[in-house]
Homo-oligomer: A and B are copies of this chain.
Amino acid sequence: MTNKSNSNNLTKSEEDYLKALFQLLVEDNSVKVGNNQLAEYLKVSPASTNNMIKKLKTKDYVVSEKYGKLELTEEGRAIAVKLIRKHRLWETFLYNYLNFSWDEVHDVAEQLEHIKSYKLIDELDRFMDFPEKDPHGELIPNSKGEYKVVPKITLSSLEEGDVCKLISVNDGSVNFLRFVSEIGLALSSEIKILEVREFDKSIRIAFNDTIETVTRKFADNVFVEKLI
């Protein structure tokens, strides 16, 4: 038994910090995550993160040495995964049942993920018949907290001639998601890399009889499975 109390008394802020740390550590497969990096990710000052990390260490959700890198305990990780489960289930609900577009769901899910009720989220899951992926193609952790972390391959990591399938996209930017839809890309689209331009890393891609040039920043937020 790792959990002492399991009474789920975390504040919204504490939850947000744990989720952010998980996303930096695990989702973005960063080798090490530091205080300032977390601050930048959360758009708060380094002093604020330093403060909160201290608190999360006394609660045994985070481990780190002074001036050292940050790590999550099993319990910290479990909380983060629960948040991600809630976030993605709500996004799926908004998208599939309430006529939200995929660029509208994230902001509301950021609020909904902090609602505290086990029954609520498990019933929502059942109501939707246990969806596997959210509207952006991301896997939804199950009610036992099981979550396969699949290393993500970005479109920007491919080379000329490669062919890939769009698996998921970063859901944090409304403008980015709108642009993805606008040019006609969608989940499962097959994309061929026509050219990678050296001077600015922009990429010329072909999909569904369309040819587009996208920036490196764009391609960093598109996750694919390499086919050829």
- Bound-complex Cα distance A117 to B107 (A): 9
Question: Which residues 91-144 of A sit at the B interface, judged by CB distance below 8 A?
Answer: 94, 97-100, 104, 107-108, 111-112, 115-117, 119-120, 123-124, 127
Which one of A100, A108, A117 has the greatest number of beta carbons of chain B within 10 Å? A117
Give the size of the chain A interface in residues (CB under 8 angstroms).
Answer: 18
- Bound-complex Cα distance A127 to B99 (A): 9
Residue numbers in B under 8 Å from A108 (CB-CB): 115, 117, 119-120
- Whether B116 lies near A111 (C-beta < 8 A) is yes
- Whether A111 lies near B115 (C-beta < 8 A) is yes
> Could you jot down 22 A-B contacts, CB within 8 Å?
A94-B120, A97-B127, A98-B119, A98-B120, A98-B123, A98-B124, A98-B127, A99-B123, A100-B119, A100-B123, A104-B119, A107-B117, A108-B115, A108-B117, A108-B119, A108-B120, A111-B115, A111-B116, A111-B117, A112-B112, A112-B115, A115-B115
Task: Give the top 6 A-B pairs by smallest Cβ distance, nearest first.
Answer: A98-B123, A108-B117, A111-B115, A99-B123, A108-B120, A97-B127
